[in-house]
Structure formats: structure tokens, C-alpha cells
Amino acid sequence: MGRVVVLFACLLAVSAFADMGDIVKQFPAPMGNPDGLTYLDGYLWITSDVGFTIFQVDTVDGTVANYIPGHGEGNLTGLTTDETDLYSCCTGSQTAYIYRREIPSGTVLDSIPAPHKDSEGLAWDGTYLWSTNYKTDSIYKVDPANGDIIEKFYPNNPDGSTGLVYDGYFLWATFQNSCMIYKMIPGDPVPVAYCLAPCEIPQDLAWDGQYLWLTEYVADDPQIYMVDPGPLGLDSYTWGSLKANFE
């Protein structure tokens, strides 16, 4: 048991602090208050609550390659992709919807109710959507066919959940009020690792297969950050095995 405890502590220490959260590069967002963010085929797709627009930008320098108009009524919040279509959340005063849109035209193909009127970040895990709630800090697993909530959990000590992305093993979430980024097993409230975000008002996240991307929710001179995720060797299965020794 002693060796397990030492290994567990070492892995946590490395995972939590080694380079995680460091800025690799940054460039200006195309418009103020960038909210939703996702990555597809070498480009970032970014929503703006100022222009009510979704921009496609180059990951080299942020050059705008394409843009599509917004939809619904209210703010454009979470954004994700199933590698074919975009899923974009639009929140209003009483309701919110998730729209499935064709790329690159932006044509709306379908829509489902979002799990809450204050829904924010969106992530796609290969089968299901995941959505954050800014007011209650809950994270929902959602059926993309009809919007039914399949599962809900509350991360430990959250404060203003805004961004969300899935990297193939883990969910990454931003918490705007505490300026934190959590790395989590889907459905597990205990973060595998965490770090401070590289800006004061972190919003949504994207994953390009190697790095995290993060939007900064400000009106004047908003930035897009490429962020080091830290060591990725501790996958969800290893974490589950180690954690079981302490339950």
C-alpha cells in the first residue's frame, strides 16, 4: 500500500503542476466577447456575443477564413463539433437551444432544447453532448437526438462553469469566477488535475489533439490562447485504478 500511495502522490503532483496551463501562444480574437470555441481540421470556430457571429479562424495567427451568422435569440455560448457538423448553444431569457449546423455554410439542420436556460460550454464525446451550466455549475450529459438529460454531476468546488471540451479521455472545464481549469473523468466530480487559467475571464475550450485552446471573455482586445495541457500519460483507466485504492 505504501508504494501505491507514493506512486499516487507523484502522479498527482506531476499531472497537476508540470507545465499545465502555460501559454504556448496567443493572438487576438476576431471580435469582442468571444464565447463558444471548437477545433476542426486545422481551424478554430469561435462565437462572438458582440457581433452574434461564428468565425472560422486560422490557428497560426487568427486570420478569419470564413464566418456564418448567428441563430436564435440571445447569446451564442457553447460550441462543439462531431467532426462533421457544428453544435452551437444559444441562450435566451427563458429558454436555450442547441443547433446542429452544416459546415461551412452554417445551415441549421436540427435543434434540441439545451438542458438549462443558462447553458454554456458544449463538448462532444463521440456519442453524446456534454453541457455546462453557469448558474448551478452542473455538467449535463445530453442525448443529441432529442436533448434528453442522461446524466448530471457537480465538479468539486466549482465557481462559474463556462467552457467545456473532451480530449478523447477527459472532460476539461473552465470556471470563470475562480479562474480555474479542471481536467476530469466524465461523470466524476473529483478533478484528475487542475490549474489556473492564463487570463482573468476564461470562457470556452477547444482541443486540437495536442493542446487546449481558450477564449477570453472581454469586449476590448480579447485573446485566444493555446495552452499546455501538461502530461497526458495518466489516462482515465489508470486514474480509476489508483483512485479505487482510496475508496
Q: Which sign does the torsion angle of CA 61, 63, 67, 72 carry?
A: positive
Cell numbers at 207, concatenated: 482541443
Contact partners, residue 30, CB within 8 Å, separation at least 6: 46, 48, 55, 57, 62, 64, 67
Q: Measured between alpha carbons, how far is 79 from 35 in angstroms, rounded to an integer? A: 8
Contact 100, 113 (CB under 8 A): no
Element (H, E) at 240: helix 236-244
Phi, psi of 231 (to 5 degrees): -60, 140
pLDDT in the model for residue 49: 87
Q: pTM of the full predicted structure? A: 0.85
- The CATH class for the domain spanning 19-230 reads mainly beta
Three-state SS at 233: coil
What values do phi and psi take at 53, rounded to 5? -135, 150
DSSP state, residue 243: H
Rounded Cα gap, residues 97 and 76, in angstroms: 10
CA 59 from chain centre, in angstroms, equals: 17
Report the pLDDT value the prediction gives residue 50, as an integer from 0 to 100.
Answer: 86
C-alpha 206/C-alpha 165 separation (Å) is 6
Q: What is the pLDDT along the chain (247 residues), one digit of tens a residue?
A: 444 333 344 444 444 444 899 999 999 999 999 999 999 999 999 999 888 899 999 999 999 999 998 887 678 889 999 999 999 998 876 788 999 999 999 999 999 999 988 899 999 999 999 999 888 889 999 999 999 999 999 998 878 889 999 999 999 999 999 999 999 999 999 999 999 999 999 999 999 999 999 999 999 999 999 999 998 655 455 545 544 544 4
Burial 201-227, CB ≥16 within 10 A → b, else e? bbbbbbbbeebbbbbbbbeeebbbbbb
